[in-house]
């Protein structure tokens, strides 16, 4: 099937030649791992080091400040449980209700154990994203940590990071960032807008596999972090076998623990290499232009936006509200049968263009909607 109608970058992401490059990387791994020699660990760790170097290059940060995690939830768990208790115990952790649900599940479980009050800023009735002004109103001096979502997965709302970050700094809060729906498309915040720690996966516009994420933390916070999950890879020298002589590595390696999941990092290398070789501004411009075409299609079909009208407040996706008579699951199946790949969250159709999506794909989407919405 042609990929020109691929609007699924909010979930997986594709790039030209992905299947062949991923197959080659996994074949190389199989040959190395099955060889009857002892070269495996050195080669595996070289691949993991390249994975982390590509992430550091993408974010514009020091390699010593970043490590691999399996997913966003694990990354936030590592960061939060490693922080000194003064940041959380007896204080508030602030997050918006349109965060990734898995993160909220984690926080609700950690709150009683780490001794913080979880404050969830709600959506206003009938709205699709939490307003920045409501987050600011709830953000007082008792907030020890705030977790911001750079771009939401349900509305593609891009929050005003400079405004939110400045407010948090004035109140002495640490700021964590979920930049999953922005990674590979929007720049990682730098300078005054830089958070204290951040988490993402290599899925979506980075086009990587599941299980390959990254945790970044500013060095000043790494230096005093003591992650509760620790192991031989948390040390300066993983090959220290003296069980009475543990110490944390001085950099982000302290967030590692047991034997790392190297296979997912190796599987991500082709996609990260491809992305590093692209003109990121061109990729973003292509997505934004296709999104405007999708919005015009939505207007012609009377489908209200569940994303911001203002492109500067929107990420790489366009979400549309479906009419009440349309069954979301049936619509997605009908789109797929016509070469258009998308998904829904309840009555909201999620469409995300990327490197393989084309104007012809948008035309195919419109043709499909014309038929399916009339059914």
Q: To the nearest whole percent, how much of the chain has pLDDT over 70?
A: 100
In a 3-state reduction of DSSP, which class is residue 174?
strand
Is residue 1 pLDDT above 80, yes or no? no
Q: What is the DSSP string of 300-317?
A: HTT--BSS-SSGGGB-SE
Note the Cα 160 to chain centre separation in Å: 17
Instruction: Note the pLDDT tens digit of each residue in 293-345.
Output: 999 999 999 999 999 999 999 999 999 999 999 999 999 999 999 999 999 99
Q: Is the dihedral of CA 8, 10, 11, 14 positive or negative?
A: positive
- How many C-beta atoms lie closer than 10 Å to residue 16's C-beta? 11
Average pLDDT taken over every residue of the chain: 97
- Report the pLDDT value the prediction gives residue 375, as an integer from 0 to 100: 79
Kind of pairing between the strands at 92-96 and 143-149: parallel
Give kind and range of the element (H or E) at residue 213: strand 213-217
- The answer to whether 223 touches 273, Cβ cutoff 8 Å, is no
**Tokens representing 41?**
């660990």
Strands of 317-321's sheet in order across: 317-321, 348-352, 343-345
pTM, rounded to two decimals: 0.97
Tokens 């040390």 locate to 235
Those residues with Cβ within 8 angstroms of residue 347's Cβ, 6 or more apart along the chain or in another chain:
321, 322, 324, 326, 328
First CA to last CA distance, the chain? 24
Q: What is the DSSP string of 242-302?
A: -TT-----SSGGGG--SS--HHHHHHHHHHHHHHHTS-HHHHHHHHHHHHHHHHHHHHHTT
Kind of pairing between the strands at 143-149 and 348-352: unpaired
d(CA 142, CA 172): 9
Tokens 């999941």 locate to 261
Nearest by Cα to 262 from 28, 62, 102: 28
d(CA 200, CA 68): 10
In a 3-state reduction of DSSP, which class is residue 63?
helix
Beta bridge partners of 69: 213
- Report the pLDDT value the prediction gives residue 196, as an integer from 0 to 100: 98
**Tokens representing 171?**
């109140």
Nearest by Cα to 188 from 171, 200, 204: 200
- Report the pLDDT value the prediction gives residue 348, as an integer from 0 to 100: 98
d(CA 117, CA 127): 25
Number of residues written out for the chain: 375
| Mean pLDDT to the nearest integer, 198-220 | 98
- The answer to whether 298 touches 322, Cβ cutoff 8 Å, is no
Instruction: Note the pLDDT tens digit of each residue in 46-90.
Output: 999 999 999 999 999 999 999 999 999 999 999 999 999 999 999
Instruction: Note the pLDDT tens digit of each residue in 333-374.
Output: 999 999 999 999 999 999 999 999 999 999 999 999 999 999
Band (pLDDT 50/70/90 cuts) for residue 2 is confident
């Amino acid at each position: 099937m042609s990929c020109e109608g691929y609007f699924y970058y909010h979930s997986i992401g594709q790039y030209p030649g992905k299947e062949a490059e991923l197959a080659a990387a996994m074949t190389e791994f199989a040959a190395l791992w099955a060889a009857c020699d002892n070269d495996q660990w050195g080669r595996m760790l070289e691949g993991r080091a390249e994975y982390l170097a590509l992430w550091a290059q993408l974010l514009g940060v020091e390699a010593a400040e970043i490590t691999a995690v399996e997913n966003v939830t694990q990354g936030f768990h590592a960061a939060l449980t490693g922080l000194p208790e003064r940041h959380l115990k007896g204080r508030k952790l602030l997050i918006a209700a349109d965060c990734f649900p898995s993160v909220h599940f984690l926080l609700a479980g950690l709150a009683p154990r780490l001794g913080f009050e979880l404050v969830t800023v709600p959506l206003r009735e009938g709205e699709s994203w939490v307003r920045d002004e409501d987050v600011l109103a709830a953000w007082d001096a008792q907030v020890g940590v705030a977790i911001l979502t750079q771009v939401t997965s349900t509305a593609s709302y891009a929050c005003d990071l400079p405004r939110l970050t400045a407010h948090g700094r004035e109140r002495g809060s640490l700021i964590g960032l979920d930049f999953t729906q922005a990674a590979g498309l929007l720049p990682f915040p730098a300078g005054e807008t830089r958070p204290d720690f951040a988490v993402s996966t290599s899925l979506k516009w980075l086009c990587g596999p599941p299980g390959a994420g990254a945790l970044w933390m500013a060095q000043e916070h790494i230096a005093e972090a003591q992650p509760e999950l620790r192991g031989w890879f948390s040390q300066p020298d993983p090959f220290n076998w003296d069980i009475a002589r543990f110490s944390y590595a001085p950099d982000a390696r302290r967030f590692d623990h047991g034997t790392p999941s190297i296979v997912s990092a190796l599987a991500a290398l082709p996609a990260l290499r491809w992305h590093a070789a692209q003109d990121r501004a061109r990729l973003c411009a292509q997505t934004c232009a296709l999104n405007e075409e999708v919005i015009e299609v939505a207007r012609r079909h009377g489908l209200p936006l569940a994303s911001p009208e203002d492109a500067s407040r929107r990420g790489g996706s366009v979400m549309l509200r479906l009419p009440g008579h349309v069954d979301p699951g049936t619509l997605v199946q009908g789109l797929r049968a016509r070469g258009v790949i998308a998904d829904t969250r309840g009555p909201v159709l999620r469409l995300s263009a990327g490197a393989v999506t084309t104007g012809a794909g948008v035309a195919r989407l419109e043709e499909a909607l014309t038929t399916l919405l009339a059914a």
